[in-house]
Structure 1
Amino acid sequence: MKALSEQTNFSPGEIETLMKCTYYSQRKDINKGTDLQSLMEGWPFLFKEIGMTVHFQELTGISLKETFLTNVEKKGKRLLDFMRNSCADKSRRVLQAATKLEILRGQLEGCSEDVKDMVLLLLSYFDEKEENLFHYVEQTCLAKEVHVESLPVTPCIIVCGTSCYAARQFMLSVDCKVVNDHIPDFISAICLMFGTYYCLNIHYPVSLGSTLEFLQRCFFMINPERGTKVETKKNKKQLSVNPRVLTLITNLADQDWRGTC
């Protein structure tokens, strides 16, 4: 796989087979705390979409991108309608975000643009800062030119452009290090970012806990009855499900039920 990672004409099927065959060794290295640079050198495809998809499915039993897109098709429009109407009417912060995104989006259409709206409105709804998830650089910026000292230590999407709507491409960073410098579209970037938390055993930061947990439960369909991936705060009781996440999920379900009556 190290040799194949240097080529551009490798067989996707071969990479998928090799990732499955070496899954145990990958988990062994990750679980014993192998440093990030060694993981990148030893398992180069783990940080690419083709490899992470295999690893995530072996780990969780869930198809990373397919599950996300299926649920975006089922629930995305309902979530956007709820955010732009019900939430915007009640929250000045969400209204301002929705108005700003409408201007940035302009005439752009398509699933990818809807997902951008969805994620950015979720951040606004939960009052979580955009800069904790997205880091903006010049369109022509190369990985080696990114000021990594300004990146968060948790998985972060580097946007090559002034906004997610004007991006030329995306990159992914982990622990202030660029691990994938060529992600062509936003949906792939979101899936890789989310998958990294599971594949590398990383807790959600408190600063993004609600947004990530909502995506986890509503769009990636990971719904444990106990436990949470949000990092634990000392001397603070940790709930199995974030109440604000549960409230939004319930409101969306109620909206869907009313729409079928």
Structure 2
Amino acid sequence: MCQAAPNRNDNLNRPMGVKMGVKTSDIGEKTGKRNEVQAVGETSKKKDLYGCINFSPSLSTDAESLEEIRVDMCRKHNQNPKNHDWDTIETQLRETYSLQRDNINEGECVRDLLSKWPFLFTGRCLFLLFKLLVGLDIRNTICEAFSKKAHRLNKFLKTESGICKETDELIREAKVQTAKDSVIAWPPANILAIMKYLSEKEEEPCFTVDDTSTRSEAADTDSLPWIVCSGKSVLEAKKFRIVVDRVVVLSDLTSFITSLSALFALFYIRNIQYQHGASATLEFIQRCFVGINPDKGSKSDRKRKSSCAGSVNAKVLLRLINQMANFEWTTC
């Protein structure tokens, strides 16, 4: 099990009905002004424009019709999954999107959302909702980014004296693991290399559990989204689960990229900040791999003191982004 994140105890003591967003320290004590990613558990609806194009759509005036569709989707979920008409389900999700966002923005916990919207956190529906919210096909975007940038990223990190040896070790281990078990170990190796460069914790936002771990053991996390890797290490993992609010929302995933895509989708759909111990890495992926580059705001908690474990100065992250962009330009 991973080491606890600096804010883990606060999250564990948080009532299950309250989501995790920006800490109260992010709320101006004197002015009362808020950052774009706002605190949760409030009575008023949140507004987060950080990369979103459809965060809080107006509710349809025909609320009764939306509720009928929602009930029908619950009924379908109780049927044999083999009989699910996914095209119809996705159409219904689009039709009820405004009601879903209203429930999410009001701060309903994952268990309540799963009860009302049982298809909400299934793989294909999660990616659909991210596309409606942000306008991107998250999985295809990350897949294309890895295929185009991973090799150049490794070459760049090899030029950095402080990270060169560790990057070489990760690449060698990824080669061995890929040949041994036909596990595609390159994507997690790339992520771990970035984390080492930024001096962040590889236990966040992923941690490993034994292959025989139960569903409840896998859900033993704080409220933030996590990738639970079944195996001895992230590189050796063959199965992945996604947990948020200590609820396993996706299980039996066999692709790290799919798992990473689902993780990003949850951070945005649920309006949650990145884990502090991996926030710079996640923001690097967000900007360089996913292509979400808002001029203002951040999903990283940069108001923590620099002495905190895992904290990364914003200038360090910006330098990495610029160096990587220059390296791609001069080596392509």
State the identity %: 29
Task: Select the residue among 196, 207, 232 that pairs with 2:277.
Answer: 207
Aligned match of 2:225: 155
One-letter amino acid of the counterpart of residue 59, structure 1: L
CA contact (8 A) 1:115 1:187 kept: yes
Q: Residues of 2 paired with 1:36 and 1:216: CA distance?
A: 24
One-letter amino acid of the counterpart of residue 210, structure 1: A
One-letter amino acid of the counterpart of residue 200, structure 1: R
Question: In the TM superposition, what is the alpha-carbon distance from 1:256 to its structure 2 partner?
Answer: 2.3
Structure 1 stretches of 5 or more lacking a match?
none
Larger radius of gyration: 2
CA contact (8 A) 2:219 2:247 kept: no
Task: Select the residue among 105, 112, 118 that pairs with 2:190.
Answer: 118
Aligned match of 1:182: 252
Residues 34/82 of structure 1: CA separation in 2 closer, same or farther (3 Å cut): same
Q: Residues of 2 paired with 1:11 and 1:108: CA distance?
A: 36
Structure 2 stretches of 5 or more lacking a match?
1-72, 307-312
Count how many residue pairs are aligned between Structure 1 and Structure 2: 250
Q: Residues of 2 paired with 1:65 and 1:147: CA distance?
A: 24
Q: Residues of 2 paired with 1:101 and 1:228: CA distance?
A: 31
SS of equivalent to 1:210: helix
Question: In the TM superposition, what is the alpha-carbon distance from 1:139 to its structure 2 partner?
Answer: 1.4
Question: In the TM superposition, what is the alpha-carbon distance from 1:111 to its structure 2 partner?
Answer: 9.8
Q: Residues of 1 paired with 2:170 and 2:122: CA distance?
A: 32
Q: Residues of 2 paired with 1:168 and 1:74: CA distance?
A: 24
Alignment of 1:1-261 (within 5 A): 1-6=73-78, 7-9=80-82, 10-83=84-157, 85-87=158-160, 90-91=161-162, 95-96=165-166, 98-100=168-170, 102-103=172-173, 105-106=175-176, 108=178, 112-146=184-218, 148=220, 151-231=221-301, 233=303, 242-260=314-332
Q: Residues of 1 paired with 2:186 and 2:300: CA distance?
A: 26
1:42-85 CA-to-partner distances (Å, cap 9, x unmatched) read 222222211111111111111111111122222121112212x1
Q: Residues of 1 paired with 2:174 and 2:324: CA distance?
A: 26
Q: Residues of 2 paired with 1:95 and 1:213: CA distance?
A: 24
Residues 107/145 of structure 1: CA separation in 2 closer, same or farther (3 Å cut): closer
Question: In the TM superposition, what is the alpha-carbon distance from 1:19 to its structure 2 partner?
Answer: 1.6
RCO higher in structure (CA 8 A, sep ≥6): 2
Q: Residues of 1 paired with 2:219 and 2:116: CA distance?
A: 25
Normalized per residue, which structure has more helix?
A: 1
Question: In the TM superposition, what is the alpha-carbon distance from 1:138 to its structure 2 partner?
Answer: 1.3
CA RMSD, aligned part only? 2.4
1:71-108 CA-to-partner distances (Å, cap 9, x unmatched) read 2222121112212x112xx115x623541552354051
TM value normalised by structure 2:
0.69
Name which of structure 1's ranges 67-76 and 227-236 shifts more when overlaid on structure 2.
227-236
Question: In the TM superposition, what is the alpha-carbon distance from 1:257 to its structure 2 partner?
Answer: 2.6
Residues 56/251 of structure 1: CA separation in 2 closer, same or farther (3 Å cut): same
Question: In the TM superposition, what is the alpha-carbon distance from 1:222 to its structure 2 partner?
Answer: 0.5
Residues 29/163 of structure 1: CA separation in 2 closer, same or farther (3 Å cut): same
Residues 111/55 of structure 1: CA separation in 2 closer, same or farther (3 Å cut): farther
